[in-house]
Chain A
Amino acid sequence: KAGVTQTPRYLIKTRGQQVTLSCSPISGHRSVSWYQQTPGQGLQFLFEYFSETQRNKGNFPGRFSGRQFSNSRSEMNVSTLELGDSALYLCASRENYGYTFGSGTRLTVV
C-alpha cells in the first residue's frame, strides 16, 4: 500500500500571498486530518475531513481552510500569509484508530 503523499515537500512564499497544499491519503482511507508543527507551539490540529465533509476544526483563523475531493484527496489553503505561518504542515489519514502521517510540506513565509 502506498503511504500518505504530500506535495510539495518545500515551499517558499511571500507575506500576503496564498498557498495550497495537497495530501493524498492511503487508498481506502476516507478520513484526512491536517496538523501544523512549529517549534514554539508544537503540533496543533487544524481540521479533519471525512467523505468530503469537514468533521472537526481546530482553533485557527479563517485564513486556514481546506477541502476534500470525492477520491479522498485533500487540499488545505492559507490566504494572506503571515510570517508566523511558517511551519511544517502534516497530513494524516486514518482508519480504525490508526493514523498514518505523510512527510509533510515545509512552508517558509518571507
Chain B
Amino acid sequence: GDSVTQMEGPVTLSEEAFLTINCTYTATGYPSLFWYVQYPGEGLQLLLKATKADDKGSNKGFEATYRKETTSFHLEKGSVQVSDSAVYFCALSDQVSEKLVFGKGTKLTVNP
C-alpha cells in the first residue's frame, strides 16, 4: 500500500538556521503531496501542497517540490524562527480513495 517516510527527529536548530526535513513516498499512480504542521495541543494545519510532478508548494517561507523521479517532497525553509517550533507531517493523498496517508512526523525545536 501507499506509504510516507520522513526523517525522524527531533530536530533542533538555532534561529535563522536553514531547515530541511526529508520526505519520500511510495504510491501507485500520481498522488497529491502535503505538508501539515501541528502546534502543541492543536490539530493539523495545512502548510503547503503540490498536486503534480514538478509543482512547488510554498507558504510562510516554507517550500517543497514534488519530485516524481526521486519520489520525494522535502520541506525547506531558509531561515527558521522560534515560532516555527512544531511537529511537521508529510502526507500523500491516495489517488483512488483520496484518504491521507501520513509520515510519522518530525518534531522541530528552534532556539533563540
| Chain A residues within CB distance 8 Å of chain B | 4, 6, 33, 35, 42-43, 45, 48, 55-56, 58, 90, 92, 94, 97-104
Contacts and interface: CB of A to CB of B under 8 A. Distances in A.
Nearest to A94: B98
15 contacts: A42-B102, A43-B89, A43-B91, A43-B102, A48-B97, A48-B99, A56-B99, A90-B43, A97-B49, A99-B46, A99-B93, A99-B100, A101-B44, A102-B43, A103-B43
Given A33-B99, A33-B100, A97-B49, 20 more contacts: A4-B43, A42-B102, A43-B89, A43-B100, A48-B98, A48-B99, A55-B97, A58-B99, A92-B100, A94-B98, A97-B32, A98-B46, A99-B34, A99-B100, A101-B36, A101-B43, A101-B44, A101-B45, A103-B42, A104-B43
